[in-house]
Structure 1
Amino acid sequence: MDKPSPTARRSRRILAATAAALLAATAAGCQKDTAGNRNAAGGEVRYPTKTLQLMVPAAPGGGWDLTARTMQKVMTDGKLLDEGVEVSNVTGAAGTIGLAQLVSKNQGDPHHLMVMGLVMVGGVVANKSPVKLDQITPIATLTAEQEVIVVPAASKYTTLKQLMDDAKANPASVNWGGGSAGGTDQILVGLLAKAAGADPKAMKYVAYSGGGEAKAALLAGDLTAAVSGQSEFKDLVAAGKVRALAVSGATGVDVGGGKPAPTVKEQGFDVELMNWRGVVAPPGISAADKTAITAFIDKLHSSPGWTSAMRAQGWEDFYKSGDEAAAFFKSENERITTVLTDIGLG
């Protein structure tokens, strides 16, 4: 074999040196977490170190969108971060399109977070999503909100019992509308039908990708009744454009009418359901990054701005973080899968 020329030997030395430098840089990078440099005093990871990306896996106008934009405002107004925070919307399939994007495109990036909740748990089941919730990194649950059942102000229905009597006698006469298929809203309709002695599978339910679309359909007369988180219809109830028939929690709450709306149970139906929301990170982040993100969300939750925002929106504090959040996500996935199967949505 011929000996390599001096030029070739020099090129090889340069390539070897470059490779060694790259390996050294990679090794050094592995010694710190992607969320940012370690604090020299305490060894903690500084987070965030660049613009935080907060994904809403639904259209503007809904509960997830409101949650994310409230988080953005509190983070910014409260100076919880030096870097900015951007909110983006990815619509479709009860949030599972956004879920797939978080898993495939944002893997390992701690600066991409996603708002999600009970709706997505059901959506994964109902849409037979190939991407599952056990693939993401749970960070925290944030709030829990009662569902509200509303009808147009001109509707003949003034009580939930009247509505459910018709839904039982003639399911085709009632057009229900709400969030994505398999989500909290449709689960509540199914549970109500079951409690009223009606066939849950016979209910006519139109699924919308965002709360804004459901509002428009109800006001246009396309729906007999709509179901959503109570904060989403608060403005329309207060304006006298829709009437709240019931809320889904243990106690009545004011959904804009100036007095507490009656609960589903108070009207004779043994149903109680809360819509919770939380925040998750992509898969593949380090343990230290997860700890840093959780600490940042802990700081958000304990801030005066967040407390005020929850009060203004009528959200109930439902905070769980770290391992407690992970255990809760797992149990909810099992519970909702069973519910959807029982009412024929699975």
Structure 2
Amino acid sequence: MTVDIGNAGRKTAVSPEEEKTLRHQAFRRLTGAAVAAAGLVFGASAMAQDADFPQKPIILVATGSIGGGADVQARLVASAIDRAGVINEPVAVVNRGSGGSQEGYQFVRARAGDPHYLLTVTNQFLTYPMVGDAGYDWKEFTPIANLVFDPVVVVVHESSDLQNLDDLVALAEKKGGSMTVGGGQIGTQDHMGYLTLEDATGIEARYVAFGGGAETHRNILGRQVDVAVGNPSDFIQSADAGKLRFIGVLDDERNASPALKDVPTASEQGYDASFVVWRGWVAPPGISDEERQALIGLFEAVVDDEEFKENYVDRFGMRPTLLVGDNLTSFINEQHGIYEEKLRSSGVIE
């Protein structure tokens, strides 16, 4: 496997002043009926208005670039929390790490003991420390909740001749290893999905690593790579517009979402390639058990929100999979071993 490092994108630093502005923007959303709801609606969980928490706005830190999978989820989560009215403080989204998620991880890690910061995490939360010095250990964080499992898809430009995975294999053979496949950075879920596809199909290609889903989207849309891998939310807007085409889903089951229901899975096409992304949330190190339970309550409210289900779970073909607290910690620990073996067997790590 040959690896290129594509345009990683500039890191977008968010200053304290900019964060303050985002908080003020979130405050302005809580007007009119939303303010009334915040005083009247109460969750059935541990979030039932603890007088000590929250004491200030909740900051959802989305890793990667604006428009990527983490950013999309964070903004829909923020809206769902606002609608639920289970807290009397606003919720704001801060993007950290347009050139790589490690920046976001380190940003939240530095907020030890502050439960008002929450971080989006996926598979790469575990793999980054495996492939380099990420500056953190996942065990330092406090696992809160996983919301969904998200399939990896294979996508091409609408002008491409590729219609299915057999065509992809044929193109790889024709190009003799020079076919380009774009996705996230080495060790990300996109890269892991590509390795799974590579193992199942036997293709030899040049993997081009970009800074996030939005950047991968721009490059496949601009035909800078032959093929791209990622999550449906990375590409679905252009696919709906007829500019991109899905040619395979790396899952064992046909996806029910409108954009993917007619796209065959890899297994339907004769390739044993299944890799899903888990999308969850962690808090900084050192928060109390009571604060952890309160945060779990936030996400219990999110998964019950009908608009979140419609605009996120159903639209993007997610599988609702709520794992919280210690159950999530056990799941993450299990996945750590699986990913380590995958990267080692693929020669990415020794």
Give the TM bin, normalised by the shorter chain.
Answer: 0.7 to 0.9
| Secondary structure of residue in 2 paired with 1:260 | coil
User: Which runs of structure 2 are paired with 1:1-346 in the superposition (5 Å)?
Assistant: 46-91=52-97, 94-104=100-110, 106-168=111-173, 170-198=175-203, 203-253=205-255, 257=259, 259-309=261-311, 310-346=313-349
Report the CA distance shift for 1:286/1:314 in structure 2 as closer, same or farther (over 3 A): same
Report the CA distance shift for 1:175/1:258 in structure 2 as closer, same or farther (over 3 A): closer
CA–CA distance in 2 between the matches of 1:119 and 1:162?
29
Report the CA distance shift for 1:332/1:198 in structure 2 as closer, same or farther (over 3 A): same
TM-score normalized by structure 2? 0.80
Report the CA distance shift for 1:167/1:323 in structure 2 as closer, same or farther (over 3 A): same
Instruction: Specify the alignment match of 2:30 in structure 1.
Output: none
CA–CA distance in 1 between the matches of 2:310 and 2:171?
41
Q: CA RMSD in A?
A: 2.1
Contact 2:99–2:211 (Cα < 8 Å) also in 1: yes
Using the TM superposition, name which of 114-123 and 143-152 deviates more.
114-123
Per the TM alignment, residue 256 of structure 1 is displaced from its structure 2 partner at its CA by: 5.3
TM-score normalized by structure 1? 0.81
Q: Which amino acid aligns with 2:200?
A: A
Report the CA distance shift for 1:54/1:182 in structure 2 as closer, same or farther (over 3 A): same
How many residue pairs end up in the alignment? 301
Q: Deviations over 1:22-64 (max 9, x none)?
A: xxxxxxxxxxxxxxxxxxxx99565323200110121111111
Mind listing any 5+ residue stretches in structure 1 that lack a counterpart? Answer: 1-41
CA–CA distance in 2 between the matches of 1:43 and 1:151?
48
Report the CA distance shift for 1:243/1:256 in structure 2 as closer, same or farther (over 3 A): farther
CA–CA distance in 2 between the matches of 1:198 and 1:242?
22
Identity of aligned residues (%): 27
Report the CA distance shift for 1:55/1:91 in structure 2 as closer, same or farther (over 3 A): same
CA–CA distance in 2 between the matches of 1:100 and 1:210?
17
Larger Rg: 1
Report the CA distance shift for 1:170/1:45 in structure 2 as closer, same or farther (over 3 A): farther
CA–CA distance in 1 between the matches of 2:316 and 2:202?
34
Instruction: Specify the alignment match of 1:31 in structure 2.
Output: none
Report the CA distance shift for 1:136/1:168 in structure 2 as closer, same or farther (over 3 A): farther
